[in-house]
Amino acid sequence: MAEQSQSAFHSLFGIDKAQGWDYQLENEPVLNLVYEYRHKFYLAGKPGGWAIEAIPSVGGWLGNLLTQGQIGGTLRMGFNIPDDYGPTMVRCMGHVPPPPNGDKPGTVYDWGFSIYGGGIANLVLRDITLDGNTFRDSPSVDKKFFVPAAGVGISIGSRKFLTSFTYFFWGKEFEGQEDYSKFGAIAFSWFF
């Protein structure tokens, strides 16, 4: 009932009727496997104090929603940086959750912060949002196979919570796309 709901809302507030409903993808079950490997290197400083970390990553998606490989990394610096694997630009969702028992030995501060920046290179073989439905005819566009992305941000948190803001620059994904995408993401995590 999304089309009817949107049409009623537009009518109620005098907004022009949406014209894109005839170009939507058809419903389709999605099966996707995702793998990502990250490794953390301390470049300077130490856990629990001032530090600089490099976090390279490699991964991929395999399925009818998205099939792609990616490689990238993040550089972050700060004070009492959380014992996690940093912000993720793969799914644009803030931070990768910390490992269990993430308290660092010898940590005397309950809070910390970091600033970070990084990038990834995506090799996209299939993207349902660009290629269209898998098993039936649907709208599609000519996608780009190489899609770079980058992000910068800041995080502040303690042993109980982490909040972050990341601003992303996402490369052009299809032929004729006028400009790359820019957007921000705010994430708030509570650990229990």
* Span 148-155, average pLDDT: 94
Residue 175 domain-assigned (yes or no)? yes
3-state DSSP assignment of residue 142? coil
Residue 24 lies in a domain: no
Given pLDDT bands bounded at 50, 70 and 90, which one contains residue 24? confident
Cα torsion 123, 152, 32, 56: sign: positive
Given this model, what pLDDT does residue 72 score? Answer: 94
Report whether pLDDT(126) > 90.
yes
Q: What is the CATH number of the domain that holds 125?
A: 2.40.128.140
What digits encode the pLDDT tens for the residues 67-108?
Answer: 999 999 999 999 998 878 887 765 545 556 555 555 555 455
Residue 25 lies in a domain: no
Mean of the pLDDT values across residues 13-20?
86
pLDDT of residue 96: 60
| 162: in domain | yes
Give the single-character DSSP code of 153.
E
User: What is the average pLDDT across 26-33?
Assistant: 92
Within-domain flag for 110: yes
Residues spanned by the domain of 77: 30-190
Q: Is residue 111 part of a domain?
A: yes
Residue 17 forms part of a structural domain = no
**pLDDT bracket for residue 132 (50, 70, 90):** very high
Model-level pTM?
Answer: 0.79
Which ranges of the chain does DSSP label H, i.e. alpha helix? 2-12, 128-131
pLDDT at position 160 over 70? yes
Residue 4 lies in a domain: no
Structurally, how many domains does the chain consist of? 1
Rounded average pLDDT over 48-64: 94
